[in-house]
Amino acid sequence: MKHFKKTKTESKKHQKVLNELIMVLGGEKVLSAIEDRICYSYDGTKQKALPDIVVRPGCTSDVSNTLKIANKYEIPIYARGAGTGLTGGAVPLMGGIVLDLKSMNRIIEICPEDFVATVEPGVVTKHFQDEIAKFDLFYPPDPSSAAFSTIGGNVAECAGGITGLKYGVTRDYILALEIVLSDGSVINTGRKTLRSVTGYDLTRLFIGSEGTLGVFTRITVKLIPKPKKIETLAAYFSDRDDAIDAADLIIDNNILPRTLEFMDQMTISAVRGYGEAPIGEDVKALLLIDIDGTEESISHELPVVENACKEKKAFKTKVAETPRERESIWAVRRSISPALYNIAPHKINEDICVPRSKIKEILQKVDQINEHQTIYIANFGHIGDGNIHVNIMYNDDPGQAALAESIVNKIMREVVAVGGTISGEHGIGNKKSQFMELEISPKELAIMKRFKGFFDPKGIMNPGKMFI
């Protein structure tokens, strides 16, 4: 999508909305210059659509007022964190208002005694992790984008990240939310306690709702003690299946690594050269493994993990000796997603999740589906959870985009056929809405739409996402 969708002409309504927003929020927080609108037109999918207005709220009441106005005039509203999403969640497909929540980025409180913290949605995940680390506490969800994506965005998509196998996903750490609903009313869900079952779990209903039900303005999360120590091991394989077998064997040995990341040959070729130690041509698959815990637990687990890799024919294993080496190993992993553009200029990024026992099968299916010389597929991801990022890379030549789409379509069918899900953590957005019905039956889809209709009767919240 190279071109902006046609924007609304500066109609009377639009002008009214703008004036009202400026009157209520003040001119500083309301942007309408084309230059500003362009800067809030995209996300990590490279899609673009131009919003009419960008609002940068400073507090909950700013958000509430904006929603009241949007609701009154039935103008679409798109909540946006750092705009790093991979399914188009933050792209203002139908114009209207982008609500840039980066401007609400305060850590409101950290309670080290209660293992609880409350933040505004615009706090960058890594920044938050660093702040709580000062108290030796740990917020595990760690998407690759943690250094620049926001907690609000993570909650909206229910991001998983690389620590999911051992520590679970974002959902498992959210205790309470302050939410502004589409009519501007504010609700509080959940409780700032480690447990609460009072009434229905609205908190979880809103987690992963991709900005289609309401806007989070405060997020209370659960923290856990920071593991005392982390060790990192990279294992190099000459066969993809060996790497998968090794992952299985590690878990069969009753070890849940903090992270268990897999990279296939195509992925390796894209990031080759990013790390300090270049990866050899003979490496056909790679496992990156973090073990965390105490000195004692690590001294027990690390050899088991290393032996499991060797038993499954890893031709080389390397344990990071220094924090710098560790960082360098992980820098490679974090570079993958964007570095894939080194293979081809266009990418369709899928994040399927299958039962772990089906990984080999699904990867074989993916190979079979892609017999095209011009399209490259790179697979990597959180193999312990069965969450594989399947990236279909294609070039500008005519017909390639359609070809790539047809491949995605076939892959999605296979994924659902083996009992998998079309999205492990990126969400649906507009990129995957067409595949929803593969996985979700019409009946369940209808229920979801009723939820949507209930919370957002005018359909102003992130329209064009999740459902077709």
Partner 1 sequence: MSTDWKTEVDKCSKCGKCHTVCPVFLETGDESMVSRGRISLAEALRDKQIVYTDKLRDYVYSCKKCMRCRTVCPSGVDYEVIISALLSGVAENMGIPLLPRIIFRYILPRRILFDLMLKVSSKIQWLIPMKRRGQMRHLPLLFMGKRWIPTLAKKTALQKFRKTKKLKNPKMRVGLFTGCLINYIYVDIAEAVVDVLNRMNIEVVVPQGQLCCGTPSSTMGDFKSTKKLADVNKEVFESQKLDAIVTACATCTKAIKMDYLRTLGPSWQSMSDKIYDISEFIDKYCGDEYETKPIDEKVTYHDPCHLLWVRGISDEPRNVLKKSSDFVEMDQAGACCGGGGIFTIIHYDLTLKMLERKVASIERSGADTVATNCPGCVMQIADGFAGKNSKIKTTHSIQILQKALVDSGINKEK
Partner 2 sequence: MKQETHNNKIQAKVFEELCDAIGRENVFDNIEERVCYSFDATKEKSIPDLVIRPHSTEQVSNTVSIANQHNIPICPRGAGTGLSGGSVPIKGGIALDLKNMNRIVELNARDLTVTVEPGVVTKDLQDEAAKHRLFYPPEPGSAGFSTIGGNVAECTGGMTGMKYGVTRDYVLALEIVLPDGSVINTGSKTLRSVAGYDLTRFFVGSEGTLGVLTKITLKLLPLPAKIGTVMSYFKDIDSVLNATDSIIVKNHLHPRSLEFVDKTCIGAVRGSAEETIPEEAGAFLLIDVDGNEKNVANDISRIEALCRENSALKTSIAKTDDERDALWDVRKSVSPSLFKIASMKFNDDFCVPRSKVREVLKKVYELGKTYSIQVAAFGHIGEGHIHLNVIYNDGKEMDLSVHKLVSQILKEVVLIGGTITSEHGVGDAKAEFIGLELAPHEIEIMKDLKKMFDPKGIMNPGKIFI
Q: Residue 36: which of partner 2, partner 1, none does it interact with, CB under 5 to 8 A by kind?
A: partner 1
What does the per-residue mask of binding to partner 2 show for 279-298, with x meaning CB under 8 A?
--------------xx-xx-
Write out the E strands in 243-364: 259-264, 285-293, 314-319, 346-353
* Among 76, 83, 160, 464, interactor with partner 1 by CB under 8 A: 83
* Among 117, 124, 165, 247, interactor with partner 1 by CB under 8 A: 124
Q: Residue 395: which of partner 2, partner 1, none does it interact with, CB under 5 to 8 A by kind?
A: none
* Residue 136 binds partner 2 (CB under 8 A): yes
- Length of the chain counted residue by residue: 468
* Among 153, 386, 463, 464, interactor with partner 2 by CB under 8 A: 386
| 461 DSSP β-pair partners | 77
* Residue 387 binds partner 2 (CB under 8 A): yes
φ and ψ at 326, to 5 degrees?
-60, -45
Quote the tokens at residue 212. Answer: 């289609």
Minimum distance between the CB of residue 241 and partner 2, rounded to whole angstroms? 15
> Which residue in 410, 246, 364, 235 sits closest to 312, CA to CA?
246
The DSSP output letter for 9 is P
Q: CB-wise, 172 or 239, nearer to partner 2?
A: 172
Minimum distance between the CB of residue 27 and partner 1, rounded to whole angstroms? 13
Backbone CA torsion sign across 159, 89, 46, 36: negative
How many residues touch partner 1 under the rule CB under 8 A: the total is 42
Minimum distance between the CB of residue 313 and partner 1, rounded to whole angstroms? 30
> Which residue in 34, 108, 24 sits closest to 72, CA to CA?
24
* Residue 342 binds partner 1 (CB under 8 A): yes
Q: Which residues contact 254 (CB under 8 A, 6 or more apart)?
A: none
How many residues touch partner 2 under the rule CB under 8 A: the total is 89
Backbone CA torsion sign across 374, 85, 209, 143: positive
* Residue 313 binds partner 2 (CB under 8 A): no
The answer to whether 260 and 247 are in contact (CB under 8 A) is: yes
Minimum distance between the CB of residue 204 and partner 2, rounded to whole angstroms? 3
* Among 103, 297, 395, 434, interactor with partner 1 by CB under 8 A: 103
* Residue 388 binds partner 2 (CB under 8 A): no
What does the per-residue mask of binding to partner 2 show for 92-131, with x meaning CB under 8 A?
-------------------xxxxxx---------------
Q: Residue 427: which of partner 1, partner 2, none does it interact with, CB under 5 to 8 A by kind?
A: partner 2
Minimum distance between the CB of residue 302 and partner 1, rounded to whole angstroms? 29
* Residue 274 binds partner 1 (CB under 8 A): yes
* Residue 341 binds partner 1 (CB under 8 A): yes
* Residue 299 binds partner 2 (CB under 8 A): yes
d(CA 414, CA 365): 7
Query: Residue 2: is it exposed, middle or buried by C-beta count within 10 angstroms (0-12/13-18/19+)?
Result: exposed
| 214 DSSP β-pair partners | 181
* Per-residue buried b or exposed e for 214-232, using 16+ beta carbons within 10 Å of the residue's own CB: bbbbbbbbbbeebbeebbb
Q: CB-wise, 102 or 326, nearer to partner 1?
A: 102
Q: Which residues contact 135 (CB under 8 A, 6 or more apart)?
A: 110, 112
CB atoms within 10 A of CB 295: 9
* Residue 276 binds partner 1 (CB under 8 A): no
Start-end of H helices in 11-102: 12-25, 34-39, 60-73
* Residue 30 binds partner 1 (CB under 8 A): no
| 263 DSSP β-pair partners | 286, 380
d(CA 166, CA 164): 5
Minimum distance between the CB of residue 202 and partner 2, rounded to whole angstroms? 7
* Among 14, 17, 25, 43, interactor with partner 1 by CB under 8 A: 43
Site stretch for partner 1 (CB under 8 A), options 246-254, 298-306, 336-344, 398-406: 336-344
Question: What is the Cα gyration radius of the chain?
Answer: 22
In the region spanning residues 326 to 385, those forming contacts with partner 2, defined by CB under 8 A, are 353-357, 382, 384-385
Query: Residue 374: is it exposed, middle or buried by C-beta count within 10 angstroms (0-12/13-18/19+)?
Result: middle
Minimum distance between the CB of residue 417 and partner 1, rounded to whole angstroms? 31
In the region spanning residues 240 to 269, those forming contacts with partner 2, defined by CB under 8 A, are 248, 251-252, 254-256
Q: Which residues bind partner 1 (CB under 8 A)?
A: 2-4, 33-36, 38-46, 48, 82-84, 100, 102-103, 105, 122, 124, 126, 145, 147-149, 274, 334-339, 341-342, 345, 347
